[in-house]
Amino acid sequence: MDYTIRAANVEDCKDLKRMIMELAEYDKVSDEMTITEKDVEQDGFSKNPFFHGIIAEVPEQHRTKEGHTKIGYALYHYSYSTLGRRSVFMMELYVMPEFRGKGIGKALMSKVAQLGLAAGCTGLNFIVLDWHKSSLDFYFKQGCINATTDLGYHCMICSGEDFEHLAQP
């Protein structure tokens, strides 16, 4: 399969939003999604972006029946920990179902790792839902470990009213 991996740009916001919604549907959280194309543009392509992104794109002759050539993406940001030092955190990795199993997901993940190494990172971090058996199998094949099982770490979240309450002085 012929494809390219490249940095996402502001012209990709419509397709990024589309694929984010496809992933949300797959993750069974689409009813919670309120993200807009404008949010993607502001959060990813402003002066101080909250994320960076890369796009997997196929030539026109391989486009989807809906006409899409942008068929996968990864979003990431850099983080720091006194334990792990510099890390690249991959927030999302997605490849449209009809393009899975062709090496595109691995190429996207590899590119995030390359970008992290170039920035002086010592590791790649991400989260995955525990019921995503095929995703877990894919990540284990890449040499990843389950930090919850192997290291005892837990991913904690504080959001909504609890987050607002926590932010009160």
From CA 71, how far away is CA 96, in angstroms rounded?
6
Closest-CA residue to 87 (of 109, 115, 59): 115
Strand order in the sheet with 124-125: 4-7, 52-57, 70-81, 85-95, 124-125
CB 89 within 8 A of CB 77: yes
Farthest CA pair distance, the chain: 57
Instruction: Kindly name the residue from 73, 76, 94, 139 that is annotated as catalytic.
Output: 139
Q: Catalytic site residue 139?
A: yes
Which residues are CB-contacts of 151 (< 8 A; sequence separation ≥ 6)? Answer: 145
Q: Helices (DSSP H) in the chain: which residue ranges?
A: 13-26, 37-45, 104-118, 133-141, 147-150, 160-166
> Is 148 in contact with 132 (CB distance < 8 Å)?
no
Catalytic positions are: 139
